[in-house]
Amino acid sequence: MRALRISEPAVMGLCDIPAPELKPHQVMVRVGAVGLCGTDFHIYEGQANYNSDENGRTIPFEERPQVLGHEFCGIVEEAGSDVKDLKPGDRVSIDQGLNCHSLMKESLCEYCETGNSHQCASYGEHGITGLQGALAEYVAVPAVNAVRIESDLSLDQAALVEPLGCIIHSCDVMLKTRARYTFGGDRPIKSVLICGAGPAGLLFTQYFRNVIGYDGLLIVTEPNAKRRNLAAEFGATVIDPTAVDPVEAVKVLTSGEKIQLLIESAGIGSLFKQMPGLIRKQATVVLYGHGHHGVDIGALNNVQFIEPTFISPVGASGGFDDDHRPGTYRKSLELLSSGQINVSRFITHRYPSLGDVPQAFAKDRFGSDYIKGVSVHGMSINK
């Protein structure tokens, strides 16, 4: 089958690889659509590599090329002999993370048992940890990782079930964490700052407004006008950090009170230098963005003095439904299907074939009009 493979940093090309072998507990999925994630770009550039051997040694691309693509959906092509609840033709969203149920463990590890599936003691991830990803024609996954799409949600939007699932998980962790300021507590949150209006920031904005039901001050800082305008459409008060000092703007908007909840969704290291001027003492800070280059860890000294509660959620982790499928992915599908969360507004680039996708990695993502790219290489077949 055809696949896109990284053979060395910043080198991605089409090639033929063996089609996956279907096991009895798996389904063979013809890939329909794949979201292109910031993590994919980091791996492509060589800034990150999560493929390691049993001794923890990172395996270079040159030694073991990688097929990326962890945000994906498609159509069941074939069901393994042990699979009774999915059939060929079913449209499915995929949890790319392998957990104890995926691996048919006799008992659950402490993480799966407590609803933290993406921290599974035996965790592996399609498109991230060296397992073949979805920038290919087919992927074989455990049936419990495939959630049937019951609505008429388009496959390009269904590819964003996973990133929305990450926001659901982040907010679940935040809502469960003991902190000074909470939604609906004795000291209710009245001010939220989201740094960055990429896909994550735009999803957080909608989730706060449309799911949590927060109607207080919600500020989004974003230098890109297109992204900033979308954040405003979704209900945010927006700041252009290239035009005004965010610290001063936040002071004005909060009447000097500063921010009670800060969401870092841009991966910008310089934010840690600004943080003491942005947040109240004992505010909550959600570290969602990755990267944080260009700042010395000493920048945390002044942050530490004001005792924020730091939360660092990762992935679309969650518990399991009765059929051992991921509840987070089902909730994400429901929110997209109902229209509570709108992703169609920020899918700016669609790539009709695998051969078109390298352009997203090498060029398109740097453009001012780019927000989210989706490879739709299987949608001409998978309606």
pLDDT of residue 292 exceeding 70: no
Q: Look at residue 353 and tell me if it is in a domain.
A: yes
Q: How many CA atoms lie within 13 A of 254 on its CB side?
A: 23
* Residue 102 shares a structural domain with residue 35: yes
> Is 16 domain-assigned?
yes
Domain coverage including residue 237: 167-311
DSSP H/E element including 252:
helix 246-253
**pLDDT in the model for residue 269:** 85
Do 45 and 84 lie in a common domain? yes
Average pLDDT for the chain: 96
* Position 365 in a domain: yes
Residues annotated as catalytic (active site), given as ranges = 39, 42
Q: What is the CA radius of gyration of the chain?
A: 21
Asked, for residue 335, whether it belongs to a domain, the answer is no
Q: Which two tokens stand for residue 221?
A: 């800082």
Counted domains in the chain: 2
pLDDT confidence bin for 184, thresholds 50/70/90: confident
Q: Which residues of 345-368 are buried (b: 16+ CB within 10 A; e: fewer)?
A: ebbebebeebebbbebbeebbeee
CATH number for the domain including 229?
Answer: 3.40.50.720
The two tokens of residue 189 are 């949150």
One domain, residues 123 and 171: no
Give me the percent of the chain exceeding a pLDDT of 90: 92
Q: For 1-30, what is the mean pLDDT?
A: 97
pLDDT score, position 383? 37
pLDDT of residue 102: 98
Comparing 63-72, 231-240, 295-304, the range with the smallest average pLDDT is 295-304
- Angle CA 255–256–257, to nearest 5: 95
- What local confidence, expressed as pLDDT, does residue 129 receive? 97
Measured between alpha carbons, how far is 229 from 222 in angstroms, rounded to an integer? 9
- Is 13 among the domain residues? yes
Q: What is the DSSP letter of 210?
A: I
Tell me: pLDDT of 381 over 70.
Answer: no
pLDDT band (50, 70, 90) for residue 294: confident
Pairwise pLDDT comparison (294 vs 49), residue with the higher score: 49
The first and second tokens of residue 8, run together, are 């060395």
Torsional class of 282: left (φ above 0), alpha (ψ -120 to 50), beta (otherwise): left
Q: 210-260 pLDDT, tens per residue?
A: 999 999 999 999 999 999 999 999 999 999 999 999 999 999 999 999 999
- List the one residue out of 143, 115, 131 whose CA is nearest residue 316: 115
Q: Is a pLDDT exceeding 60 seen at residue 149?
A: yes
* Residue 284 pLDDT > 70: yes
Percent of the chain past pLDDT 70, that is, above it, reads: 99
Query: Is the per-residue pLDDT at 382 higher than 60?
Result: no
Specify if 320 maps to a domain. no
Q: To which H or E segment does residue 50 belong?
A: none
- The set of residues, in sequence order, having a beta carbon less than 8 Å from that of 363 and lying 6+ positions away, is none
Which pLDDT does position 270 carry in this prediction? 87
Q: Is the pLDDT of residue 325 over 90?
A: yes
Site of tokens 């700016």: 348
Q: Is residue 82 part of a domain?
A: yes
136: three-class secondary structure by DSSP: strand
Torsion sign (Cα): 293, 294, 300, 302? negative
N- to C-terminal Cα distance for the chain? 20
DSSP letter at 260 equals E
Q: For residue 380, what pLDDT is reported? A: 62
196 and 143, same structural domain?
A: no
DSSP one-letter code for 209: I
Q: Are 317 and 118 in contact (CB under 8 A)?
A: yes
Contact between residue 44 and residue 10 where contact means Cβ atoms under 8 Å apart: yes
The whole-model pTM stands at 0.96
Residue with tokens 């006008």: 225
Same domain, 214 and 274: yes
Asked if residues 44 and 99 have their Cβ atoms less than 8 Å apart, the reply is no
Residue 332: predicted pLDDT = 99
Question: Would you say 163 and 72 are in contact if contact means Cβ atoms under 8 Å apart?
Answer: no
Task: List the CATH number of the domain containing 109.
Answer: 3.90.180.10
Nearest of 85, 275, 91, 306 to residue 180 by alpha carbon = 306
Sign of torsion over alpha carbons 215, 183, 110, 85: negative
Residues 144 and 284 in one domain: no
Q: Write the pLDDT tens digit of every residue in 349-372.
A: 999 999 999 999 999 999 999 999
Same structural domain, 289 and 190: yes
Same domain, 31 and 94: yes
